[in-house]
């Protein structure tokens, strides 16, 4: 089982003892996901919290015109899931799709809640994970309402250089809220300046 990477991840936040490592191996289930396979689709309730061991995912919504809007990408050592659907148990408006063949570890909501009660350290660990996600979301919202498309692109390049060989320009454009053509214009302008 691929829990070693997850245990190392948790240990960076708060070191786990032997019993806590053992419970991680018990409650997280490994899945191998093929490229273009969904782990969540619109209308489904998100019942699993997902840690990416290997591979790359995108989380997106599709608007009334059929246009895809990317909200998040996730690679190794990142979490992905519709937190709203996971916590409220309401149907999701999002899709989570593998961009590459991937290996993930997933935990059911009831198992995660049981972890919090029986092993309080996990309550703190997941709080830190959630707080980090909130900080990232706030940064992205502020950037979207106060920065130009070029500034958003430059920030994306600086913050996530490891994505450029793994996701398409169309997906990057969707994440930045611009058309692929406009992204191409920005890139050309940056090369010539």
Domains of the chain, residue spans: 3-145, 147-193
The confidence score (pLDDT) of residue 164 equals 83
As a whole number of angstroms, the distance between CA 151 and CA 159 comes to: 12
Q: What is the pTM of this model?
A: 0.93
Contacting residues for 171 by C-beta, under 8 A, at least 6 apart: 58, 70, 73, 99
The confidence score (pLDDT) of residue 1 equals 64
As a whole number of angstroms, the distance between CA 112 and CA 48 comes to: 9
The confidence score (pLDDT) of residue 192 equals 85
Q: List Cβ<8 Å contacts ≥24 apart for 116-124.
A: 118/23, 119/19, 119/20, 119/23, 121/14, 121/16, 121/20, 122/20, 124/13, 124/14
Bridge-based pairing of strands 102-108 and 48-54 is antiparallel
Task: Say how many residues make up the chain.
Answer: 193
The residue ranges of the chain whose pLDDT is under 50 are none
- Structure tokens belonging to residue 12: 């960076």
Q: For the structural domain made of 3-145, what CATH number should be given?
A: 2.60.120.10
As a whole number of angstroms, the distance between CA 155 and CA 186 comes to: 13
The confidence score (pLDDT) of residue 52 equals 98
* C-beta atoms surrounding 188 within 10 Å: 10
Strand-pairing partners, residue 58, are: 73, 97
């Amino acid at each position: 089982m691929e829990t070693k990477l997850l245990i190392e991840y948790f240990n960076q936040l708060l070191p786990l003892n032997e019993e806590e490592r053992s419970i991680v191996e018990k409650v997280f289930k490994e899945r191998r996901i093929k490229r273009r396979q969904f782990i969540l689709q619109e209308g489904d309730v998100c019942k699993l919290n997902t840690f990416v061991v290997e591979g790359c995912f995108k989380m997106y919504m599709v608007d009334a015109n059929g246009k895809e809007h990317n909200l998040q990408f996730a690679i190794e050592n990142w979490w992905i899931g519709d937190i709203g659907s996971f916590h409220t148990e309401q149907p999701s408006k999002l899709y989570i799709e593998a961009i590459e063949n991937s290996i993930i570890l997933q935990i059911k909501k009831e198992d995660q809640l049981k972890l919090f009660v029986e092993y309080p350290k996990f309550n703190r660990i997941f709080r830190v994970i959630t707080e980090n996600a909130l900080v990232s979301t706030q940064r992205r919202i502020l950037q979207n309402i106060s920065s130009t498309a070029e500034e958003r692109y430059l920030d994306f390049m600086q913050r996530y250089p490891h994505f450029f060989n793994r996701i398409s320009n169309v997906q990057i454009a969707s994440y930045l809220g611009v058309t692929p053509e406009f992204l191409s214009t920005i890139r050309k302008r940056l090369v010539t300046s």
